[in-house]
Structure 1
Amino acid sequence: MTVAAPLDTTPAPTGRVPAYSGDLTADARLLTDFTAPREEQLAALPAKRDRAADQQRLAEGLLAACREARRCFLARHTEAVYDVLTDGRTRLVRLADLVFAAADRFPGLTPTRAAMAAEDACIQAEKDGREIDQALFCHAVLDSPVTGRHLIDAMLAPTPRALDLLAAFRATDRVELDTVLLERRGHTAHVTFRNADCLNAEDNRLISELETAVDLVLLDDRIRVGVLRGGRVNHPRYAGRRVFSAGINLKDLRNGDISFVDFLLGRELGYINKMYRGLLTAPERAAWAERTVQKPWIGAVDTFAIGGGMQLLLVLDHVIAADDAYVSLPAAEEGIVPGLGNLRLSRLTGARAARQVLLGGRRIAMAEPEARLVCDEVVPAGAVDEAVERAAEHLAAPAVAANRRMLALVEEPLDLFRGYLAEFALVQADRSYSEDVLAKVERRWSRSQARG
């Protein structure tokens, strides 16, 4: 009988963070030499779900040591690394491509595609939190005014998929994606969420397809106004009714299918920021007004807008809600940070009401006087269509786009947005792997399984 050799739990050599000199090439080599043996030890451990307590403590120590080495490296070299990855900021590189380019060019700085593929095969509770390592890099890039502004530009550029679909959209006035329907009616574009099986909850696919739809609305010069509205759902309680959004798909979060880069950061830097700040179409021009295309946006809430759905309303120019609808940001219940809700809600509702919503879980019904703080019109359920048409006609005036651009400059300066997102990257990644969040999503998943 062959006895398996005991697992080597001896800490990797050189326990201290490398003594970086400030030379990029030399320090990059130090980072690689420091992280490589620890990564080998991690790879030799069983999967997280199969580890003994001492093995899990070892894994946590190895991960923490590597993260501290990365933090110290980035404290010295973020801008130099970014310039290498973007050819001196002459190329706009989207966030997902940037984090993997960093892994290839500077081994040990961010997880490789192979490492993330292995992690993505696990449910959230059984991951080692490799997205936290991505978050460290994203935080450092966004925290620098130089690299952060350039990355924001990169994420405001049209997506390749939208550019591929533009000619067909102009020919047919319609693009039908898996979870989004885009239709042009005169000078108005209607974007309808169609994630019907989960109350139009946001997942990786919906976020990607919403960005495609928003790009097309902003690229088509026949369109003056965009409208966002939830499609009809098939949930037993709301069957046949329009639902704006149930927020993040908690089942996907539990299953490890919510991407930090593409979803948690990507939605804020992508389609939501494009709606708020415009689509970057001429990056070489100095004047912001000449670099971007902006259009006003309307939101129509027929039933409810929860979580990410309510976050979305905070950047829209005109919100219409049925009188029996409600909105909420259940951040305390879910345990994660509600995107940019913490940055934007208080300027609409005031600080006290914002705390009631964000910290106390307050739900705002459209029948309440406070509803006027987060929406512009409350109408009978049967009058939403007419209200949307009326608002679209009003917002199509030529001066609207220019004035909303100026409002955005005052309400949310670019560096305020950038600085918030830098901190959000760290906090949200940490919350996504916290014990309370993992326990909450597991309980919800168990209840849904029990219901069949």
Structure 2
Amino acid sequence: MSVSVHDVLPEQQPLGDPAREPSTLALTGSLDEDAALLAAFVAGGERRLAGLPPKPARTPSQQELTDTVFARSRAARGSFLDLHAEGVYTRLTENLTRRVRLGDLVHAAADRFPGLVPDRARMAAELALIQAEKDGLEVDQAIFCAALLRSETAGRHLIDTMLTPTPRALDLLDGFRATGRADLGSVLVERQGKAGHVTFRNAHCLNAEDNRLAADMETAIDLVLLDENIHVGVLRGGTVDHPRYAGRRVFSAGINLKDLRNGAISFVDFLLGRELGYLHKMLRGLLTAPDAPAWCERTVQKPWIGAVDSFAIGGGMQLLLVLDRVILASDAYVSLPAAEEGIVPGLGNLRLSRHTGARLARQVVLGGRRIAATDPEARLVCDEVVPADDVTQAVDRAVQELAAPAVAANRRMLTLAEEPLDLYRLYLAEFALVQVARSYSADVLAKVERRWQSSRARG
């Protein structure tokens, strides 16, 4: 059934009668006309839901109505973006002359195209809730982001934009160049000789990743790549507070599941932002001269070393897949427990099989297989296994080897062969939709709630 702007979800229809609500949106092909139709369609749905209580207090019929209205609005957004993703992006970036980072872009879209994505006020209210009590408005952000990434023009421009230095890094750069040190909060960056050492310091949660660490990491990666006196980057976990590992270094426990349960893991800033941000910058380089004719002149690339103490779980193991040299302590292990956590392990599914082959990748991702440093398969995900007391010396040796001038050029060519930009772009578009759906799925919500209750019981 086609609808016009005048008969979108009339308010006089009985509440709770979704069968009578129009379910499709007739688009004209004109960006401005279709934007007006979409705004009216979505606004009509929101009026139908305006009197309902928050999600935990809704009756089954009220929740069914909510789900129906959301599904129809999301289908309408998808249809609109199928036609106009490139046009929307062109408007938001003033014909590709402005570089707007992902977070700002989503907010700009809400202002410029009402109904396309939730506005700041609605997102602020939603983000104050625990994950299980949210309506999943981030799904609408994911629909928007995925559509942009599927567009070759918009997707490539957005990816380039996210490879540029962050404003925070540029503000800190002169001080870092002068002192060789930047304490970012959850991350410490230090220049030691030719190396830029990035140390995770989320000590209270086994160096798990959260919104703050993702932001600090991107700043840290930018500083290492921008400092001309640094030739090699090094990642290592700092000491932690957990009773079982107190005083020991830990590389990373992956995503902070407590924050995920509490609704504090952002889709834009974390789930998608870390992939477009610091992880991609480590792999493909920092875009410092966007107008240069050749990619090698546009970016700054440096080799990266990872030193894994204790373990690299989930997002920690994902990090290893974009590094040039991985050193495992002999008592360490790595794992990518996506099936156990219920979410998608970032771009691990794209990159892991390059290292391990398809069969082992499936055992790790689908079966939760843990690879210990002493296992023969460890050589597929690392370059060197050394006694725990020798990790620092192994890092120093690796820095000297990778500081050679030709290393950066050769790693660039390896990346071009292994992960072409359009493969990355299209994978990320699909990942955005799948990951946000998983983060609101019933099984994930139940798992993170059980873990949270268990941690509270332990005190």
Fold-level match, TM-score > 0.5?
yes
After TM superposition, list the pairs within 5 Å mapping 1:174-253 onto structure 2.
Answer: 174-253=181-260
Alpha-carbon deviations, 1:123-167, whole Å to 9, x = none? 001000000000000110001111110000010000000000001
Name the residue aligned to 2:328.
321
Amino acid at match of 1:185: Q
Q: What amino acid maps onto 1:58 in structure 2?
A: L
In structure 1, C-alpha distance between the alignment counterparts of 2:181 and 2:50, rounded to whole Å? 48
Shift of 1:10: 4.4
Q: Structure 2 CA distance, aligned partners of 1:221 and 1:82?
A: 34
Q: Which amino acid letter does the alignment assign opposite residue 302 of structure 1?
A: D
Deviations 1:188-207 (A, max 9, x none): 11000000000000000000
- Pairing of 1:133-152 with structure 2 (within 5 A): 133-152=140-159
The reply on whether 1:84 has 2:75 as its aligned counterpart is: no
CA–CA distance in 2 between the matches of 1:16 and 1:55?
A: 18
Task: Confirm or deny: 8 A CA contact 1:245 1:309 kept in the other structure.
Answer: yes
Give the Å deviation of 1:15. Answer: 1.0
Report what 1:432 is aligned to.
439
Alignment-derived partner of residue 4 in structure 1: none
SS of aligned partner of 2:426: helix
Q: Amino acid of the residue matched to residue 188 of structure 2?
A: L
Q: By how many angstroms is 1:285 displaced?
A: 1.3
Whole-Å separation in 1 of the counterparts to 2:220 and 2:19: 49
Out of 295, 298, 306, the residue aligned to residue 313 of structure 2 is 306
Structure 2 residue 403 is matched with structure 1 residue 396: yes
Identify the range of structure 1 (401-410 vs 12-21) with the bigger mean alpha-carbon deviation.
Answer: 12-21
State the 4+ residue runs in structure 1 displaced beyond 4 angstroms.
10-14
Q: What letter is aligned with 2:259?
A: D
Equivalent pairs counted in the alignment come to: 446
What is the rounded CA distance, in whole Å, between the counterparts of 2:452 and 2:22 in structure 1?
40
- Residue of structure 2 equivalent to 1:406: 413
Q: Distance between the aligned counterparts of 1:59 and 1:166, measured in 2?
A: 48
SS at 1:31's partner residue?
A: helix
Match of 2:74 among 67, 74, 79: 67
SS in 2 for 1:205: helix
Q: Aligned in 2, Cα 1:70/1:216: closer, same or farther, shift over 3 Å?
A: same
Counterpart of 1:170 in structure 2 is 177
Q: Which of 372, 392, 410 is the equivalent residue of 1:365?
A: 372
For normalisation by structure 2, the TM-score amounts to 0.96
CA distance in structure 2 between the aligned counterparts of 1:315 and 1:347, rounded to whole angstroms: 11
CA 1:116–1:102: 2 relative to 1, 3 Å: same
After TM superposition, the structure 1 = structure 2 runs for residues 323-342 of structure 1, keeping only pairs within 5 Å, are: 323-342=330-349
Equivalent positions of 1:259-274 (< 5 A) are 259-274=266-281
CA distance in 1, matches of 2:17, 2:340: 41
State whether residues 169 and 175 of structure 1, in contact with CA within 8 Å, keep that contact through their aligned partners in structure 2.
Answer: yes
The alpha carbon displacement at 1:54 in A equals 0.6
> Is 1:292 aligned to 2:292, yes or no?
no
d(CA) in 2 for partners of 1:17, 1:10: 16
Per-residue deviation, 1:12: 9.8
Q: Structure 2: how far apart are the matches of 1:383 and 1:42?
A: 61
Q: Secondary structure at the match of 2:50?
A: helix
Partner SS, residue 184 of structure 1: strand
Give per-residue Cα distances to partners, 1:172-222, cap 9 Å, x unaligned. 110011100000011111000000000000000000000000000001111
Whole-Å separation in 1 of the counterparts to 2:44 and 2:128: 24
Structure 1 residue 83: deviation in Å? Answer: 0.1
Work out the percentage of aligned pairs sharing the same amino acid: 71
1:124 corresponds to which letter in structure 2? Q
8 Å CA contact retained: 1:9, 1:58: yes
Q: Which one-letter code corresponds to 1:93 in the other structure?
A: V
Q: Which residue is 1:118 aligned to? A: 125
For 1:334 and 1:12, locate their aligned partners in 2 and report how far apart those are by CA, in whole Å. Answer: 36
Q: Measure, in 2, the Cα distance between the counterparts of 1:42 and 1:130.
A: 14
Q: How many Å separate the matches in 1 of 2:241 and 2:41?
A: 52
State the distance in 1 between where 2:133 and 2:429 align.
Answer: 26
The residue aligned with 1:283 is: 290
How far apart, in 2, do the equivalents of 1:357 and 1:232 lie?
27
How big is the shift at 1:121?
A: 0.9
Amino acid at match of 2:276: L
Q: Distance in 2 between matches of 1:185 and 1:350?
A: 36
In the alignment, the residues of structure 2 paired with residue 124 and residue 309 of structure 1 have an alpha-carbon distance, to the nearest angstrom, of: 23
**Root-mean-square deviation (CA), in Å?**
1.0
- One-letter amino acid of the structure 1 residue matched with residue 392 of structure 2: D
Which position in structure 2 is the counterpart of 1:417?
Answer: 424
Offset at 1:43? 2.8
Closer, same or farther: CA 39–12 of 1 in aligned 2, 3 Å: farther
- Measured in 2, the distance between the counterparts of 1:280 and 1:343 equals 23
The amino acid across from 1:398 in the alignment is P
Q: What are the superposed Cα offsets for residues 223-276 of structure 1, whole Å, 9 maximum, x if unpaired?
A: 000000000001000000000000000000000000000000000000000000
> 1:9, CA displacement in angstroms?
3.1
Partner Cα distance (1:85, 1:146) in 2:
13
Return the offset for 1:14. 5.4
Equivalent AA in structure 2 for residue 87 of structure 1: E
TM-score (norm 1): 0.98
Q: 2:113 maps to what in 1?
A: 106
